[in-house]
A and B are shown apart, each in its own frame.
Chain A
Amino acid sequence: MTGEALLSVSDLRLQHRQAGILLDGVSLTVKRGQILGVVGESGSGKSLTGLSVLGLQPQGQLSGTLRFDGEDLTRFSSRDWRRFRGRRAAMIFQDPMTAFLPVRRIGPQIVEQIRVHTALSHQAARERVVSLLGRMGVPSPEQTAQRFPHELSGGLRQRAMIAMALSCDPELLIADEPTTALDVTVQTQILTLLKEIGAREASVMLITHDMGVVAQSCTDVAVLYAGVVIETGPVAEVLQAPLHPYTKALLRAIPPMTGSRPERLPVIDGVPPSPDTRPVGCVFAPRCPQVTPDCAIRPPMRGEGAHRAACVLVP
């Protein structure tokens, strides 16, 4: 089953009446058994891409194709969505505190989701929750299931959140900045867990702003800038030999942890374009050090094999 496309998004556009063009041509594929890192700075559209896959994007004009295991998500009725969300694809967020109902214990909340989507009895669902929590590395899962969300530490809450997301065996787990609110030592724990999930249970779409997180836990990566996927490919190739000037600049801006300390960190001049002032041509052209006259036309994805970038400089 590995290698077959589970989710394919192509040329996804989302236009909002007030805010402008939020997504401006997002194309990416999540294959079975893959952990795809969707990386970009704030406002690049990475979270919106994740939400669109679950039909949770803000009201606006959505165009392009969204195919999940052969089905066309853009034609889903609200009934189809209800059966899809949580069952076939599930999402976890940065802040697990707001994702759980604060006045109910953790266990019953997960039981409820299982009972909505499957025919399991209450007792069987409860057992399943305990075993899930155990698998997610929650110590003494039986007792933890009886706790309220506020009684758990941030790391444990995120584990419980992942258990809830995986409770109905979804094929795709969308994780939106799952470790941003956590301490570094706990972040490593959660990333290790996501890696295991990607290898065994479900494909993962990991939305993050941190190239380091992508490097350590993803198999593939899609780099977003101003609502456009500008580079995509296997993690090792993209990080070692980035094709797009934006990816190159972004990687250079990370302060190094080894070697000599640069006098100044390389920076990208200027700021990303706001949704209502996106350039017609290449979205990065106004800040690009290698801009050419050809950049006035939006470049398509180019490159050989799986590693491709939307840049005129790519042969």
Chain B
Amino acid sequence: MKALLQARNVARMYKLGGGAALRAVDGISLNVARGETLALVGESGCGKSTLGRLLMGFDRPDSGEILFDGQNLAKCSAREQRALRSQLQMVFQDSASAFNPRWTIGSALAEPFRIHGRPWSRQSLETLLNRVGLSAAFFDRYPAALSGGQRQRLNIARAIALSPRLIVADEPVSALDVSVQAQIVNLLRHLQAELDLACLFISHDLAVVRQISDRIAVMYLGAIVEEGETLALLAAPSHPYTLALVEAVPQPGKLLGTPLQGDVPSPLSPPTGCRFHTRCPVAQSRCAVDRPELQERPGLRRVACHFPLV
């Protein structure tokens, strides 16, 4: 299957004061196929949001290239870029700050059409509202009239307004209550199937990720440590870090596991060798000096570990 979105060895470093440099994304390659959902999973500071921003074209990578439908966004002319942008949309976590509070919901929804010079009518926008499960009566009201869940629906409506082919969703359900979260997850899945929409789903919540994604890429300190098909990966993680994440998900009917020791090391001075070796329960001396590469494993799995579990 041809990849819709392709990242090849993408890296982004931020220079901080005093000669310090933060390698937020450190040589990542990944593919998202048409209609597929790839979940990007990891703890705070692992670079998952930075990678999302790079893929959206909000920020340029220092090295490597990002291809959308075979075209390199960074090398396109402004006109071509604009055309590509309409096929690539983003949903943010904080739906409260994603809307201008002084614009009506209708005008917020019309904005993508205005920007891209596409025709729209009140009727088409009302259909769009209905499509995400919102009443058309909200058209003339303001975002303040919506609850958190409804606002996230509106956020999604705006993202799918131009019929994009890929959406990047950065923690879209993290701020929501469980019962509302379930509604939004269902909505996203339904829309994806209906619109043949690919999705890069950035999240730290493995239970939600399991429900929504086809494949998972696990990140740790700027690099992918494991990638594979969702259900297989969660049932039998190969990387010790993935296993720790899976065991840390609090679930009814499961006892509290043995926690990983310590915190994620500072990305300003990441450990040598395998970046996870300082917290890894099965690390050996080789791990401290020799950085493992992502390697193909049976069952469409890629793992960066010298001593994989499976």
Chains A and B form a bound pair: yes
User: Hey, which bits of chain A sit against chain B, CB under 8 A?
Assistant: 41-42, 139, 153-156, 183-189, 191-192, 195, 209-217, 239-240, 249-251, 253-258, 261-262, 264-268, 271
Separation of A267 and B147 alpha carbons in the complex (Å) = 16
Q: Which residues from B are CB-within-8-Å of A212?
A: 207, 249-252, 254
22 contacts between A and B (CB under 8 A): A41-B177, A183-B44, A183-B204, A183-B264, A184-B204, A185-B244, A185-B245, A185-B259, A187-B248, A188-B256, A215-B251, A215-B253, A216-B256, A250-B179, A254-B207, A254-B251, A255-B210, A257-B206, A257-B207, A257-B210, A261-B210, A262-B211
B179 touches A184 (CB 8 A): no
Chain B window 233-268, contacts with chain A (Cβ cutoff 8 Å), 1 for yes, 0 for no: 011000000001111111111111101111110000
**With A183-B44, A183-B204, A257-B234 given, is the CB distance from A213 to B250 under 8 Å?**
yes
Shortest beta-carbon contacts, A-B, top 5: A212-B250, A188-B259, A183-B43, A265-B182, A255-B211
Separation of A268 and B251 alpha carbons in the complex (Å) = 20
Q: Which residue of B lies closest to A44 (CB)?
A: B177
Q: Which residues from A are CB-within-8-Å of B252?
A: 211-212, 214-215, 239, 251, 254
Q: Which residues from B are CB-within-8-Å of A195?
A: 256
Q: Which residues from A are CB-within-8-Å of B180?
A: 41
A265 touches B211 (CB 8 A): yes
Q: Which residues from A are CB-within-8-Å of B207?
A: 212, 254-257
B135 interface residue (CB < 8 Å to A): no
Q: Smallest distance from the beta carbon of B158 to chain A beta carbons, Å? A: 21
**With A41-B177, A191-B256 given, is the CB distance from A257 to B251 under 8 Å?**
yes
Q: Which residues from B are CB-within-8-Å of A155?
A: 263
B100 interface residue (CB < 8 Å to A): no
Chain B window 269-307, contacts with chain A (Cβ cutoff 8 Å), 1 for yes, 0 for no: 000000000000000000000000000000000000000
B210 touches A267 (CB 8 A): no
Q: Which residues from B are CB-within-8-Å of A214?
A: 252
Separation of A250 and B177 alpha carbons in the complex (Å) = 10
Interface centre among B208, B246, B252, B254 (most CB of A within 10 A): B252
Q: Which residues from A are CB-within-8-Å of B210?
A: 255-257, 261
Q: Which residues from A are CB-within-8-Å of B246?
A: 257
B206 touches A188 (CB 8 A): no
Interface size class of B (residues with CB under 8 A): 35 or more
A42 touches B177 (CB 8 A): yes
Given A183-B204, A188-B257, A192-B259, 6 other A-B contacts at CB below 8 A? Answer: A155-B263, A184-B245, A215-B251, A215-B254, A255-B182, A267-B186
Q: Which residue of B lies closest to A264 (CB)?
A: B186
Q: Which residue of A lies closest to B234 (CB)?
A: A257
Separation of A153 and B208 alpha carbons in the complex (Å) = 26
User: Hey, which bits of chain B sit against chain A, CB under 8 A?
Assistant: 43-44, 147-149, 177-183, 185-186, 189-190, 204, 206-208, 210-211, 231, 234-235, 244-257, 259-264
A253 touches B181 (CB 8 A): yes
A267 touches B256 (CB 8 A): no
Separation of A266 and B182 alpha carbons in the complex (Å) = 7
Q: Smallest distance from the beta carbon of A243 to chain B beta carbons, Å? A: 15
Q: Which residues from A are CB-within-8-Å of B147?
A: 271
Q: Which residue of B lies closest to A240 (CB)?
A: B253
Separation of A282 and B248 alpha carbons in the complex (Å) = 36
Contact among B179, B189, B190 with A268 in the assembled complex (CB-CB below 8 Å):
B179
Interface centre among B190, B256, B263 (most CB of A within 10 A): B263
Separation of A189 and B262 alpha carbons in the complex (Å) = 9
Q: Which residue of A lies closest to B183 (CB)?
A: A267
Q: Smallest distance from the beta carbon of B17 to chain A beta carbons, Å? A: 16
Q: Which residue of A lies closest to B211 (CB)?
A: A255
Q: Which residue of B lies closest to A41 (CB)?
A: B177
**With A184-B245, A185-B244, A265-B185 given, is the CB distance from A192 to B256 under 8 Å?**
yes
Q: Which residues from B are CB-within-8-Å of A187?
A: 248, 250
Separation of A237 and B204 alpha carbons in the complex (Å) = 29
Separation of A195 and B251 alpha carbons in the complex (Å) = 16
Q: Which residues from A are CB-within-8-Å of B262?
A: 139
Q: Which residues from A are CB-within-8-Å of B44?
A: 183
Q: Which residue of B lies closest to A246 (CB)?
A: B179
Contact among A217, A257, A271 with B249 in the assembled complex (CB-CB below 8 Å):
A257
Q: Smallest distance from the beta carbon of B49 to chain A beta carbons, Å? A: 14
Q: Smallest distance from the beta carbon of A260 to chain B beta carbons, Å? A: 9
Separation of A267 and B149 alpha carbons in the complex (Å) = 12
Q: Which residues from A are CB-within-8-Å of B250?
A: 187, 191, 210, 212-213, 215-216
Separation of A185 and B181 alpha carbons in the complex (Å) = 22
Q: Which residue of B lies closest to A208 (CB)?
A: B250
Interface centre among B148, B244, B254, B259 (most CB of A within 10 A): B259
Q: Smallest distance from the beta carbon of B283 to chain A beta carbons, Å? A: 15
Q: Which residue of A lies closest to B212 (CB)?
A: A255
Q: Smallest distance from the beta carbon of A266 to chain B beta carbons, Å? A: 7
**With A183-B204, A183-B264, A254-B252 given, is the CB distance from A209 to B259 under 8 Å?**
no
Q: Which residues from B are CB-within-8-Å of A183?
A: 43-44, 204, 264
A255 touches B253 (CB 8 A): no
Q: Which residue of A lies closest to B147 (CB)?
A: A271
B177 touches A185 (CB 8 A): no
Contact among A41, A154, A188, A256 with B179 in the assembled complex (CB-CB below 8 Å):
A41
Separation of A142 and B177 alpha carbons in the complex (Å) = 40
**With A250-B178, A257-B234, A265-B185 given, is the CB distance from A185 to B253 under 8 Å?**
no
